[in-house]
Amino acid sequence: MSDPVIRCENLGKSYVLHHDGDRPGYRTLREDLLSLPSRLQAAWRNHGTGEEFWALRKVSFEVRPGEVIGIIGRNGAGKSTLLKILSRITAPSAGGVDLHGRVGSLLEVGTGFHPELTGRENIFLSGAMLGMRRAEVRAHFDAIVAFAEVEQFLDTPCKHYSSGMYTRLGFAVAAHLRTDILLVDEVLAVGDASFQQRCLGKMAEVAGGGRTVLFVSHNLGAIGSLCPRTLWLDHGELHQDGPSREVIERYLADVAGQAGTATTAAAPAGPAWLVSARLAERNGTARQAFSMTEPVRVECEYQVAQAGGYTLSVQVKEFDFSPVVHCTSGDAGFAVPGTTGRHRIAVEVPDMQLYPGRYWLRLALTQTATGRQHDLDRIGFQIEQDFTLCTRPLPRQAGLVYRRAEWTVLSPPSP
Question: Strand 289-291's sheet: what is its strand order?
Answer: 289-291, 373-384, 357-367, 310-317, 323-328
Q: Distance from CA of residue 104 to its chain's centroid?
A: 21
DSSP string for residues in 352-410: --BPSEEEEEEEEEEETTT--EEEEEEEEEEEE--TTT-SS---GGG-SB--PPP--PP
Q: Distance from CA of residue 135 to its chain's centroid?
A: 35
245 binds other proteins (CB under 8 A): no
128 binds other proteins (CB under 8 A): yes
Contact range with other proteins by CB under 8 A, out of 100-108, 254-262, 267-275, 394-402: 100-108
Out of 66, 101, 164, 308, the only residue in the binding site for other proteins (CB under 8 A) is 101
Out of 4, 131, 221, 224, the only residue in the binding site for other proteins (CB under 8 A) is 131
Contact range with other proteins by CB under 8 A, out of 83-91, 165-173, 278-286, 360-368: 83-91
114 binds other proteins (CB under 8 A): yes
23-52: contacts with other proteins (CB under 8 A): 24-30, 32
89 binds other proteins (CB under 8 A): yes
Residues 358/319, Cβ–Cβ less than 8 Å: yes
Residue 370 burial class via C-beta count within 10 angstroms: exposed 0-12, middle 13-18, buried 19 and up: exposed
331-350: contacts with other proteins (CB under 8 A): none
Q: What whole-number distance in Å separates Cα of residue 367 and Cα of residue 381?
A: 27
Contact range with other proteins by CB under 8 A, out of 108-116, 245-253, 300-308, 313-321: 108-116
102 binds other proteins (CB under 8 A): yes
Contact range with other proteins by CB under 8 A, out of 95-103, 236-244, 351-359, 386-394: 95-103
124 binds other proteins (CB under 8 A): yes
144-173: contacts with other proteins (CB under 8 A): none
Which stretch of DSSP H or E encloses residue 8? strand 6-17
Contact range with other proteins by CB under 8 A, out of 113-121, 222-230, 286-294, 355-363: 113-121
138 binds other proteins (CB under 8 A): no
Out of 4, 18, 111, 261, the only residue in the binding site for other proteins (CB under 8 A) is 111
Out of 17, 54, 64, 93, the only residue in the binding site for other proteins (CB under 8 A) is 93
Contact range with other proteins by CB under 8 A, out of 124-132, 142-150, 220-228, 367-375: 124-132
345-404: contacts with other proteins (CB under 8 A): none
237 binds other proteins (CB under 8 A): no
196 binds other proteins (CB under 8 A): no
Residues 353/291, Cβ–Cβ less than 8 Å: no
227 binds other proteins (CB under 8 A): no
Out of 61, 62, 97, 372, the only residue in the binding site for other proteins (CB under 8 A) is 97
- Secondary structure of residue 39 in the 3-state scheme: helix
121 binds other proteins (CB under 8 A): yes
Q: What whole-number distance in Å separates Cα of residue 373 and Cα of residue 64?
A: 47
| Least distance in angstroms from the C-beta of 110 to other proteins | 10
Residues 67/172, Cβ–Cβ less than 8 Å: no
193 binds other proteins (CB under 8 A): no
Q: Point out which residues pair with 360 in neighbouring strands.
A: 317, 380
Size of the site for other proteins (CB under 8 A): 50
Residues 311/328, Cβ–Cβ less than 8 Å: yes
What is the residue type of 322?
S
- The per-residue b/e assignment along 340-366, b for 16 or more CB within 10 angstroms, e otherwise, is eeebebebebeebbbbbbbbbbbbbbb
Please state whether 10 falls in left (phi above 0), alpha (psi between -120 and 50) or beta: left
Out of 17, 61, 64, 95, the only residue in the binding site for other proteins (CB under 8 A) is 95
Contacts with other proteins, residue ranges (CB under 8 A): 2, 5, 15, 24-30, 32, 84-103, 105, 107-108, 111-112, 114, 116-117, 121, 124-125, 128-134, 180
